[in-house]
Structure 1
Protein backbone atom coordinates (compact mmCIF):
# COMPACT_ATOMS: atom_id res chain seq x y z
CA UNK A 1 0.00 0.00 0.00
CA UNK A 2 2.87 2.38 0.73
CA UNK A 3 4.18 1.93 -2.84
CA UNK A 4 0.83 1.88 -4.67
CA UNK A 5 -0.52 5.17 -3.29
CA UNK A 6 2.30 7.39 -4.65
CA UNK A 7 2.12 5.65 -8.04
CA UNK A 8 -1.65 6.08 -8.25
CA UNK A 9 -1.31 9.72 -7.19
CA UNK A 10 1.33 10.32 -9.87
CA UNK A 11 -0.80 8.77 -12.62
CA UNK A 12 -3.90 10.73 -11.58
CA UNK A 13 -1.84 13.94 -11.42
CA UNK A 14 -0.38 13.37 -14.89
CA UNK A 15 -3.77 12.66 -16.41
CA UNK A 16 -5.35 15.67 -14.67
CA UNK A 17 -2.47 17.92 -15.74
CA UNK A 18 -2.79 16.76 -19.33
CA UNK A 19 -6.49 17.58 -19.50
CA UNK A 20 -5.99 20.95 -17.80
CA UNK A 21 -3.23 21.75 -20.31
CA UNK A 22 -5.44 20.82 -23.27
CA UNK A 23 -8.27 22.98 -21.93
CA UNK A 24 -5.90 25.94 -21.43
CA UNK A 25 -4.39 25.57 -24.91
CA UNK A 26 -7.81 25.42 -26.58
CA UNK A 27 -8.91 28.52 -24.67
CA UNK A 28 -5.78 30.39 -25.78
CA UNK A 29 -6.32 29.35 -29.42
CA UNK A 30 -9.91 30.63 -29.26
CA UNK A 31 -8.68 33.94 -27.85
CA UNK A 32 -6.11 34.24 -30.65
CA UNK A 33 -8.85 33.85 -33.26
CA UNK A 34 -10.62 36.89 -31.84
CA UNK A 35 -7.51 38.99 -31.12
CA UNK A 36 -5.26 39.71 -34.13
CA UNK A 37 -2.66 41.42 -31.93
CA UNK A 38 -2.17 38.25 -29.91
CA UNK A 39 -1.81 36.19 -33.11
CA UNK A 40 0.75 38.70 -34.43
CA UNK A 41 2.69 38.47 -31.16
CA UNK A 42 2.84 34.67 -31.33
CA UNK A 43 3.93 34.82 -34.98
CA UNK A 44 6.76 37.22 -34.09
CA UNK A 45 7.90 34.92 -31.28
CA UNK A 46 8.11 32.13 -33.86
CA UNK A 47 10.13 34.35 -36.20
CA UNK A 48 7.39 35.28 -38.69
CA UNK A 49 6.24 38.76 -39.62
CA UNK A 50 2.68 38.56 -40.97
CA UNK A 51 1.13 41.23 -43.16
CA UNK A 52 -2.62 41.94 -43.19
CA UNK A 53 -3.53 39.35 -45.82
CA UNK A 54 -1.48 36.64 -44.12
CA UNK A 55 -3.08 37.55 -40.78
CA UNK A 56 -6.59 37.16 -42.22
CA UNK A 57 -5.64 33.84 -43.79
CA UNK A 58 -4.19 32.57 -40.48
CA UNK A 59 -7.33 33.60 -38.57
CA UNK A 60 -9.56 31.93 -41.16
CA UNK A 61 -7.47 28.77 -41.03
CA UNK A 62 -7.70 28.65 -37.22
CA UNK A 63 -11.48 29.09 -37.34
CA UNK A 64 -11.82 26.34 -39.95
CA UNK A 65 -9.67 23.91 -37.96
CA UNK A 66 -11.58 24.66 -34.78
CA UNK A 67 -14.90 23.53 -36.25
CA UNK A 68 -15.91 19.91 -35.67
CA UNK A 69 -15.88 17.86 -38.85
CA UNK A 70 -13.66 20.32 -40.71
CA UNK A 71 -11.37 18.69 -43.25
CA UNK A 72 -7.87 19.98 -44.00
CA UNK A 73 -7.74 21.55 -47.44
CA UNK A 74 -11.51 21.93 -47.61
CA UNK A 75 -11.32 25.70 -47.21
CA UNK A 76 -12.73 27.99 -49.86
CA UNK A 77 -10.47 28.31 -52.89
CA UNK A 78 -8.61 25.03 -52.42
CA UNK A 79 -10.69 23.06 -54.91
CA UNK A 80 -9.04 20.94 -57.55
CA UNK A 81 -9.87 21.55 -61.16
CA UNK A 82 -10.64 18.55 -63.31
CA UNK A 83 -9.81 18.57 -67.00
Structure 2
Protein backbone atom coordinates (compact mmCIF):
# COMPACT_ATOMS: atom_id res chain seq x y z
CA UNK A 1 0.00 0.00 0.00
CA UNK A 2 1.05 3.61 -0.50
CA UNK A 3 0.12 6.68 1.53
CA UNK A 4 0.48 10.28 0.42
CA UNK A 5 -0.37 13.79 1.49
CA UNK A 6 -0.44 17.16 -0.27
CA UNK A 7 1.58 19.75 1.64
CA UNK A 8 2.24 23.44 1.03
CA UNK A 9 5.78 24.63 1.74
CA UNK A 10 5.60 27.28 4.48
CA UNK A 11 9.33 27.99 4.99
CA UNK A 12 9.88 31.69 4.18
CA UNK A 13 12.90 30.93 1.98
CA UNK A 14 11.61 27.64 0.62
CA UNK A 15 13.55 24.41 0.97
CA UNK A 16 17.25 25.12 0.46
CA UNK A 17 20.27 22.94 1.31
CA UNK A 18 20.11 23.02 5.12
CA UNK A 19 16.42 22.09 5.46
CA UNK A 20 16.72 19.61 2.57
CA UNK A 21 19.57 17.88 4.40
CA UNK A 22 17.58 17.80 7.65
CA UNK A 23 14.56 16.36 5.84
CA UNK A 24 16.56 13.74 3.92
CA UNK A 25 18.30 12.61 7.11
CA UNK A 26 14.90 12.12 8.79
CA UNK A 27 13.54 10.28 5.73
CA UNK A 28 16.49 7.86 5.83
CA UNK A 29 15.37 6.76 9.30
CA UNK A 30 12.43 4.93 7.70
CA UNK A 31 12.50 1.68 5.73
CA UNK A 32 9.76 2.95 3.43
CA UNK A 33 10.44 4.50 0.06
CA UNK A 34 9.79 8.24 0.48
CA UNK A 35 9.29 10.56 -2.49
CA UNK A 36 8.41 14.19 -3.07
CA UNK A 37 6.48 15.20 -6.18
CA UNK A 38 6.42 18.77 -7.46
CA UNK A 39 6.33 18.57 -11.23
CA UNK A 40 8.68 15.59 -11.09
CA UNK A 41 9.12 12.89 -8.46
CA UNK A 42 12.39 12.52 -6.55
CA UNK A 43 13.68 10.53 -3.60
CA UNK A 44 13.18 12.41 -0.34
CA UNK A 45 16.26 10.64 1.00
CA UNK A 46 18.56 12.74 -1.22
CA UNK A 47 19.07 16.41 -0.33
CA UNK A 48 20.44 17.14 -3.81
CA UNK A 49 17.33 15.69 -5.44
CA UNK A 50 15.09 17.66 -3.08
CA UNK A 51 16.97 20.87 -3.98
CA UNK A 52 16.51 20.09 -7.69
CA UNK A 53 12.75 20.65 -7.27
CA UNK A 54 13.28 24.36 -6.39
CA UNK A 55 10.70 24.26 -3.60
CA UNK A 56 9.80 27.89 -2.92
CA UNK A 57 7.40 29.14 -0.25
CA UNK A 58 3.77 28.29 -1.10
CA UNK A 59 4.79 25.47 -3.48
CA UNK A 60 2.43 22.49 -3.25
CA UNK A 61 4.09 19.08 -3.06
CA UNK A 62 2.90 15.53 -2.64
CA UNK A 63 4.79 13.50 -0.06
CA UNK A 64 4.44 9.76 -0.70
CA UNK A 65 5.58 6.86 1.47
CA UNK A 66 5.49 3.18 0.58
CA UNK A 67 6.71 0.37 2.79
CA UNK A 68 6.44 -1.29 6.19
CA UNK A 69 6.52 1.97 8.20
CA UNK A 70 4.75 4.21 5.66
CA UNK A 71 2.09 5.58 8.03
CA UNK A 72 4.65 6.63 10.65
CA UNK A 73 6.96 8.03 7.96
CA UNK A 74 4.17 10.14 6.44
CA UNK A 75 3.04 11.43 9.84
CA UNK A 76 6.57 12.30 11.00
CA UNK A 77 7.86 13.78 7.74
CA UNK A 78 4.74 15.82 6.94
CA UNK A 79 4.98 17.40 10.40
CA UNK A 80 8.73 17.99 10.00
CA UNK A 81 8.52 19.71 6.62
CA UNK A 82 6.33 22.45 8.10
CA UNK A 83 8.91 23.23 10.80
CA UNK A 84 11.86 23.68 8.42
CA UNK A 85 13.26 27.15 7.77
Higher strand content, 1 or 2: 2
TM-score, with structure 1 as normaliser: 0.27
Higher helix content, 1 or 2: 1
TM-score, with structure 2 as normaliser: 0.26
